[in-house]
Amino acid sequence: MNEMTVAIAGLGAIGLSLARSLDRNDIEGFRLAAVTSRDIEKAKGAVADFASPPPVVGSPAELTDADIVIEAAPAAAFVDIARPAIAAGKILVACSGGALMRNMGLVEEAEQCGARIIVPTGALIGLDAVRAAAQGTISSSVIETRKAPKGWSGAPTLSSRGSLWMVLPKKSAFSRAMHWRQRLAFRPTSTSPRHSPLPE
């Protein structure tokens, strides 16, 4: 089996966990080639104890030597990570599914460049169940997930409105801080969901 190289943008809960798995050779046939993060010095410290510490590069554009680029960063950084990988014809694993849906032009760019975009189902909680239900007749679906306040950092809606409380359901202060609702509304004749990433 030919080895594929993997680069990771973002070393938060998802990115660092995946980087550690690759470093331990838990995933046969894949090798960690490079990482990047908003805080370069912190990223260097995070991978310092790896068996084979990967290069920590300063820009997402420097990840494109790898076969696969995994985007595991805040949604605000999505386009800066995705576009170079797509332009280079790489496989992009987009963990920020909502950010991709706001930038669907990247899908057309990927088709033109011969790149592939893979959205792991974990990026939209419950998507496996929705897919299964869609085998029959489905008119609508409501998926409710919870998100830690820190996870909202860099979200475009918060940047424009300036307050977490203005975009979350009006419940207790704790619930407002922890609650995030995604609505996926399906037309029975269409396989493409309309997506509203924030509460109504």
Number of domains composing the chain: 2
Domain co-membership, 95 together with 144: no
pLDDT average per 10 residues of sequence, the chain (200 residues): 91 92 93 96 96 96 96 93 97 91 93 93 59 68 69 66 51 42 38 40
Domain co-membership, 89 together with 11: yes
Domain co-membership, 91 together with 152: no
Domain co-membership, 48 together with 93: yes
Packing angle between helix 13-23 and helix 40-47, nearest 10 degrees?
A: 40
Structural domain span for residue 145 = 127-196
For the chain, helix (H) and strand (E) counts, in that order, are 8, 8
Domain co-membership, 64 together with 155: no
State which of 69, 101, 122 marks the end of a domain: 122
Domain co-membership, 44 together with 142: no
State which of 73, 103, 122 marks the end of a domain: 122
Q: Take residue 92 and report the two structure tokens written for it.
A: 């992009």
Domain co-membership, 169 together with 110: no
pTM of the model: 0.66
Domain co-membership, 18 together with 60: yes
- Residue 181: half-sphere exposure toward Cβ, Cα within 13 Å: 13
Q: What is the pLDDT of residue 139?
A: 74
Domain co-membership, 56 together with 108: yes
Domain co-membership, 132 together with 117: no
